[in-house]
């Protein structure tokens, strides 16, 4: 199945959780937030949030400073 993350497309296996996907693309969960179909998913829900075909994800990096 295909998902979209920040305008890039990824092929993922059915049954892949958000937590596994983030790990598989080499990202560390610290300092990031992820929105699924424009709704932010709390980190404690990543393992139980399963991706589906044509799902849109938005990755947001926290930046220090102001």
CATH for 35: 3.10.20.30
Whether residue 26 is contained in a domain is answered as yes
The residue range of the domain holding 18 is: 2-61
Strand, helix or coil at 23?
A: helix
How many whole angstroms from its chain centre is CA 25? 10
Q: What is the pLDDT of residues 21-58, one digit of tens each?
A: 999 999 988 889 999 999 999 999 999 999 999 999 99
pTM, rounded to two decimals = 0.88
Q: Is 47 exposed, middle or buried (0-12, 13-18, 19+ CB in 10 A)?
A: exposed
Whether residue 37 is contained in a domain is answered as yes
Whether residue 9 is contained in a domain is answered as yes
Q: CA–CA separation, 13 vs 44, rounded Å? A: 22
pLDDT band at 62 (very low <50, low <70, confident <90, very high): confident
């Amino acid at each position: 199945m295909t998902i979209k993350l920040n305008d890039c497309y990824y092929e993922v296996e059915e049954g892949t959780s958000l937590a596994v996907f983030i790990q598989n693309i080499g990202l560390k969960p610290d300092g990031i937030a992820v929105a699924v179909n424009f709704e932010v998913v709390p980190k404690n829900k990543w393992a139980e949030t399963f991706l589906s075909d044509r799902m849109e994800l938005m990755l947001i990096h926290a930046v220090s400073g102001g």
